[in-house]
Amino acid sequence: MLLEDIKNVLNLKAIPETFKKYESKIDTRKSVITKKTLDTAFKFYKLEEEKEFYNHCLSLIEEFKRNPILKKAALLIQYISFESEADDFLEMEYWKATPPRADISAIVLLSAVSQHKKALKGLDTKQRVHQIVGIRETILRGLKLYKINGISYGSLAWGIRFVRQLLLKFGRLQFEYSCYHDPFIITKNKKGEKLIHEVGSSSKIKKTEILIQPGDICINIHIDRNGRLEPKSVDNSFAQAKKLLKKYFPNITGKKVIYRCHSWLLSIQMSQFLTPDRHIMYFQNLFLLLPPHEDDTGDDFYRFLFNMQKSSPGFSLENLPEDTSLRKKVKKHLIEGNTVQEGRGLIFEEE
């Protein structure tokens, strides 16, 4: 009954599997966040000017005192975010809520400021700045861009990557230590050809030919929203990563690095909208593209191409901006009743 109440207070459509896994951890925690910690977070992430949001956070702290179910919901999310095993927190990216409790997501992220500050001590100045700015931009994106009083559950999952020291930036691209979960096994035959096998298929696979399979370590590629995706800057990012990744992620030392990307930029539909000489197509052509998957909902097109969320109040296709040729073409495609899907791809470090 408790998990059902928590699901309802968070406006979730279903009880996440991680809730069931970590339900017993709720009662061991006393508070979500104190005013002192909140003040520290607002100062550290340079959010002092967001006074309205700060006051809302204060009122939320008081609401936790009056509403034990809401408090337990926040405590459960907090545990999953910063103390759960491996990458269980990634499930948040698929939580469906109408609307999400954006304020709880934001205050949970800010509650980890002490943990984040401690983790930053092992990084150089550039990476520390990237980490701090990353949290700040995550909060401001929800407040300013999406016009919600906090951040989505998916944005919380993004912020957690910084706190857990899973995400680094080299030049134009961001690199995340992760685990490969796509439902495909990639092999390399004697001719040097890379073959894609769906997990559970009847095709015979030799272990000696496997390049990657679910459960293996990989490095996820993320594209910073700021700046152009020029080929030179992309190549430079990979060159830096090749030199420095193993310094920060020692578990990949002695192994050939496999890069993975899940992005609207890798959509197989991009060739309908762009000519081969465009920068996005250069980036896409670096990857071995995987077949489309049912989890590729197309939501990233709205978030990253149009800077909008389908869950935002008053959302409509007619209101999508069309100030660039790509936006105009994709908007027309959607209004005509068509859909879009993100894409997935892999890059294998050279021998």
Q: Of 103, 91, 101, nearest to 160 (Cα)?
A: 91
Task: Kindly tell me the sign of the dihedral angle through the C-alpha atoms of 114, 49, 153, 169.
Answer: negative
Task: Find the helix or strand (DSSP H, E) in which 26 lies.
Answer: none
Q: Where are the domains of the chain?
A: 2-165, 173-348
- pLDDT above 70 covers a percentage of the chain that reads 98
Residue 291 φ/ψ region, left for φ over 0, alpha for ψ in the -120 to 50 degree band, beta for the rest: beta
The answer to whether 174 touches 222, Cβ cutoff 8 Å, is yes
Residue 351 clears pLDDT 60, i.e. is over it: no
Of the pLDDT bands very low, low, confident and very high (cuts 50, 70, 90), residue 177 is very high
Beta strands 167-170 and 173-179 are antiparallel
Distance, CA of 227 to CA of 348 (rounded, Å): 26
Amino acid at 76: L
Structure tokens at 92: 């948040």
Beta strands 258-263 and 217-223 are parallel
| pLDDT (tens digit per residue) in 279-328 | 999 999 999 999 987 777 788 999 899 988 877 777 899 999 999 999 99
Residue 89 clears pLDDT 90, i.e. is over it: yes
Of the pLDDT bands very low, low, confident and very high (cuts 50, 70, 90), residue 172 is very high
Q: To the nearest whole number, what is the mean pLDDT of the chain?
A: 92
| pLDDT (tens digit per residue) in 24-79 | 888 766 789 999 999 999 999 999 999 999 999 999 999 999 999 999 999 999 99
Predicted confidence at residue 207, as pLDDT, reads 81
User: How many CA atoms lie less than 13 Å away from 147 in the CB half-sphere?
Assistant: 9
- pLDDT above 90 covers a percentage of the chain that reads 77
Predicted confidence at residue 330, as pLDDT, reads 97
The alpha carbon torsion through 274, 275, 281, 287 (nearest 10 deg) reads 110
Predicted confidence at residue 54, as pLDDT, reads 98
Predicted confidence at residue 210, as pLDDT, reads 93
User: Of the CATH numbers 3.20.20.70, 3.40.630.120, 3.30.2010.20, 3.40.50.300, which one belongs to the domain with range 173-348?
Assistant: 3.40.630.120
Structure tokens at 61: 């702290």
Predicted confidence at residue 184, as pLDDT, reads 95
The answer to whether 221 touches 181, Cβ cutoff 8 Å, is no
